[in-house]
Amino acid sequence: MMGVLDGVLMELQDCALPLLKDVIATDKEEIAFKDLDVAILVGSMPRRDGMERKDLLKANVKIFKCQGAALDKYAKKSVKVIVVGNPANTNCLTASKSAPSIPKENFSCLTRLDHNRAKAQIALKLGVISDDVKNVIIWGNHSSTQYPDVNHAKVKLQGKEVGVYEALKDDSWLKGEFITTVQQRGAAVIKARKLSSAMSAAKAICDHVRDIWFGTPEGEFVSMGIISDGNSYGIPDDLLYSFPVTIKDKTWKVVEGLPINDFSREKMDLTAKELAEEKETAFEFLASA
C-alpha cells in the first residue's frame, strides 16, 4: 500500500494547504507513532459479505492491539487518540487496554458523524441550517443500536431557542423514522454510492478533534465515545460508550443531570448490552492475540 500512500501524499502537497508543513508517509510503527500529540486511527478491517460480527471483531482486535502497543511505546503520554475504524467503540477499548501507560480518558471514538447526521435531519425537517440545531445526543455504540436523542436538543427559530420536540410537534416521527434514519444512514450511503461515507466522516473527525483541542462553545455539548467509568446514567463501567460531553482544556466532562425518560432508558440500555457483548468477544481474542 505504500504506492497508494504516495498518491495521497502527492494530493496533499497539491492542495497547497496553508497550515500543512510536512507529511511523512511510512509503514513503520516506530516512525508513524513517534512523539504523537494526536493519533487518528482510521484504518480497520471492513466487514465483508457473509462475515460474522465475531470474525470482524477478531480481525480488528489484532490491528488495534498492535496500534495500542505502538502508542504505548512511541507516542507522548499526553497523546489524544481518536478511533474511527469500525467497530469503533470496541476497537477503541482494545487500543486503550493495549496502551496501559496512556490515561484511558485520552482515548475516544467517533460518534460525531452520527451526531452531525442527527443535527442535519432535524434542520432539514424544520427548514433551518444545521448550525441552528444544538445539543442532540448520540448514546452508546456506533452501530445500528445507537440512540439518537433530541429530548434535550434546542433549535433556533425566529431568533428564539426552543426545544426540538416543541418546535416539531411530531412525536411519532421523532420516536420512529428520525431514529431509524440516523441509525441506518451509513448503510443508506453505501447503498446509494456503493462506497461508505467519506467526506462526511472526514468532516466529523475534524469537528471531533477541533473540539478536543479548542473546547466546546459555552452552553453546547457534543457526542463522543469515551470510557464509561463513574458515569451517572447507569451505564456499566469499562465500556467505550458515547455520551454528551463538554470539553475544556483538552479534557472532556460528561454532561450530568439530564432527565432520562423510560423510552430513552430502554434504548440506552439496549446499546450498552450490545457493547458489553462485543467487549466480551473482543477480550477473548485479546487474551489469545
User: Domains along the chain?
Assistant: 21-109 (3.40.50.720), 111-279 (3.90.110.10)
Pairing relationship of beta strands 38-41 and 80-83 according to DSSP bridges:
parallel
Q: Considering only 11-15, 47-51, 77-81, 160-164, which range has the smallest mean pLDDT?
A: 47-51
Question: What pLDDT sits at residue 61?
Answer: 96
pLDDT at 10 over 90: yes
Quick: pLDDT tens for 130-169: 999 999 999 999 999 999 999 999 999 999 999 999 999 9
The verdict on whether residue 112 carries a ligand-binding annotation is: no
d(CA 182, CA 151): 15
Spatial CB neighbours of 218, under 8 Å, sequence gap ≥ 6: none
Q: State the chain's maximal CA–CA distance in angstroms.
A: 59
The verdict on whether residue 60 carries a ligand-binding annotation is: yes
Q: In the structure, what pLDDT confidence band is assigned to residue 7 with cuts at 50, 70 and 90? A: very high
Question: What pLDDT sits at residue 288?
Answer: 86
Whose cell is 448514546? That residue is 139
Question: What pLDDT sits at residue 80?
Answer: 98
The verdict on whether residue 84 carries a ligand-binding annotation is: yes
Beta bridge partners of 41: 83
Question: What pLDDT sits at residue 48?
Answer: 76
Of all residues in the chain, the percent with pLDDT exceeding 90 is: 93
d(CA 189, CA 199): 11
Quick: pLDDT tens for 228-286: 999 999 999 999 999 999 999 999 999 999 999 999 999 999 999 999 999 999 999 99
Residue tagged active-site, from 115, 142, 152, 208: 142
For the entire predicted model, the pTM comes to 0.96
Question: What pLDDT sits at residue 251?
Answer: 98
Residue 76 vs residues 36, 47, 171: alpha-carbon distances, Å? 6, 32, 48
Question: What pLDDT sits at residue 71?
Answer: 98
pLDDT at 54 over 90: no
Question: What pLDDT sits at residue 240?
Answer: 98
d(CA 220, CA 244): 10
Q: Is 142 a residue of the active site? A: yes
pLDDT at 199 over 90: yes
Dihedral over alpha carbons 286, 76, 203, 271 (to 10 degrees): 30
Residue 204 vs residues 39, 58, 109: alpha-carbon distances, Å? 15, 27, 11
